[in-house]
Amino acid sequence: MQYKSTRGDVLLMNSAEAIVKGLASDGGLFVPATMPHVTMDFIESFIPLCYEERACKVLELFLTDYTAAELSDCVSRAYGRENFDAAKRAPLARFGDMSVLELWHGPTSAFKDMALQLLPQLMVTALKKLGEKATILILVATSGDTGKAALEGFCDVEQTKIMVFYPENGVSKIQQAQMRTQEGKNVDVTAIRGNFDDAQRGVKAIFSDTALGAELAQRDVKLSSANSINWGRLVPQIVYYFSAYADLLDEGCITHGEIIDFTVPTGNFGDILAGYYAKEMGLPIHKLICASNSNNVLTDFLRTGVYDCKRDFVKTISPSMDILISSNLERLLYHVTNDAEKVASWMEKLQKAGRYDIGATLLKTIQETFWADWANDIETEKMIEKAYEEQHYVPDTHTAVAWKVANAYRAATGDTHHMVIVSTASPYKFSKSVLDALHVDVSGLDAFAMLEKLEQINPVATPKGLASLQSKPVLHHAACDYERMGDCVLSFASGKDS
């Protein structure tokens, strides 16, 4: 399988090259040059398999330059039992004709683990295959979930180092504790005196700083990124759509070939795009429902064909979806048009004017697969309350956005296919918002006491990784101004592994 750029760069690459490179030279994203197709027999063959085996079956269709042994080695390191607290890795909670696909049983209790446990393994294997000897230094600017998931994924992975920058006062107490207690010889965590945009701007400036790049090259260090535009982060996410379908078949909840719907809480469009790949490959998916919070750029786009990010950024109780530019949408636009020139021109308009319009015909094509709606914070809280009252289930705020939108979709369309709600975080990660929604008084409680409070009413226990945080020593105290991030990078790159 070869990969090409969404913006027309004609150079074809294999998957190892695409994963190491991250972004194409013309600024586009790597996409597979052809779409693999599967049969219902292939899908049914997943039923007796464990998650790791299912992952190998999907990955080998896309990462054809990796050997079967390489893939199975990567997958067992990523999804080993000691990393996940659920035997099925991505289990379904069933509620009649709806189910909730729990993608938060990994080490950091958010769905980013599904991809960020595997990406580092795919990357070091790619380095070996390509004969690359340099140390790869991963830089991450994070508003919370991605930083910790990337740290866990890259921790002690040979030939790599990872540096995470987070806004000093811009992440939750739990998220900060998760990052500051991170162990590992090759990790560094630094607080930035500024907000997330400052951290992000600092990282971007480092990537385009040629003098710094030359200094790093002298030390045999190359920079790379772990954010969701890397193909190696997208491809692992296709697996759980197949896995969910196989489990539904296994439980007799659907019949051979029956079509189902997925509702996905969406920010950067990576999670839902993996569902699109699964559908294009032949998984019987009817509709992919895109759920947004008050930052509802995607709802408007999927209803009107106009992508317009010139609007106020809203801080919500589902912060991992507080995003106005969904980078992975570019891949969808490429696949539905097969026209890199057009995609490049829309992306240029987005950058220059903050807006582009794909026109009515193309919109209609996209709407054959996608439906969209959004939920504000009050609706999200009401949904958490309703799920708890009716199902005795506590969804996190992001999952609740999706659940509300799934209900709205059914009410609006009368569609009765089995609905899978994709659940992207453990409710414990957002305890305060969840307890508020359930009208539990949290005044005077710190973040750790809130975990205990939530555990008293939630039938599911606190994930180990969160429960043990309070007793872990803080290993990372550093803070810096964002103008000085480059110096931090150079000094970390120069240091010995200790």
Output the DSSP codes for 243-311: HHHHHHHHTTSS-TT--EEEEEE-SSSHHHHHHHHHHHHT--EEEEEEEE-S--HHHHHHHHSEEE--S
Nearer to ligand PLP, 125 or 316 (CB): 316
Nearer to ligand PLP, 186 or 423 (CB): 423
- Burial readout 175-184 (b: 16 or more C-beta within 10 A, e: otherwise): bbbbbbbbeb
Nearer to ligand PLP, 279 or 398 (CB): 398
Q: Is 222 among the catalytic positions? A: no
User: H or E segment at 422?
Assistant: strand 418-423
Residues 6+ apart with CB under 8 A from 97: 416, 418, 419
Nearer to ligand PLP, 186 or 263 (CB): 263
Nearer to ligand PLP, 427 or 488 (CB): 427
Q: Is 5 helix (H, G, I), strand (E, B) or coil?
A: strand
Q: How is residue 317 written in tokens?
A: 């109780």
- Least CB distance to ligand PLP at residue 274 (A): 8
> Catalytic one among 112, 161, 404, 432?
112
Nearer to ligand PLP, 176 or 186 (CB): 176
What is each CA distance from 437 to 397, 400, 425, 430, 445, in whole angstroms?
9, 11, 16, 11, 16
| CB distance 64 to 56 below 8 Å | no
- Least CB distance to ligand PLP at residue 402 (A): 9
The DSSP letter of residue 461 is P
- Least CB distance to ligand PLP at residue 277 (A): 13
CA distance 335 to 276: 10
Return the residue matching tokens 């074809």.
Answer: 12
Nearer to ligand PLP, 266 or 380 (CB): 266
- Least CB distance to ligand PLP at residue 278 (A): 14
- Least CB distance to ligand PLP at residue 327 (A): 9
- Least CB distance to ligand PLP at residue 115 (A): 9
CA distance 34 to 45: 23
CA distance 315 to 272: 22
CA distance 177 to 174: 5
User: H or E segment at 94?
Assistant: strand 92-95
- Least CB distance to ligand PLP at residue 265 (A): 5
Kindly list the residues in this chain that would bind ligand PLP in the complex (CB under 6 A): 110-112, 145, 228, 265-271, 320-321, 398, 424-425
| CB distance 175 to 149 below 8 Å | no
Which residues are the active-site residues? 112
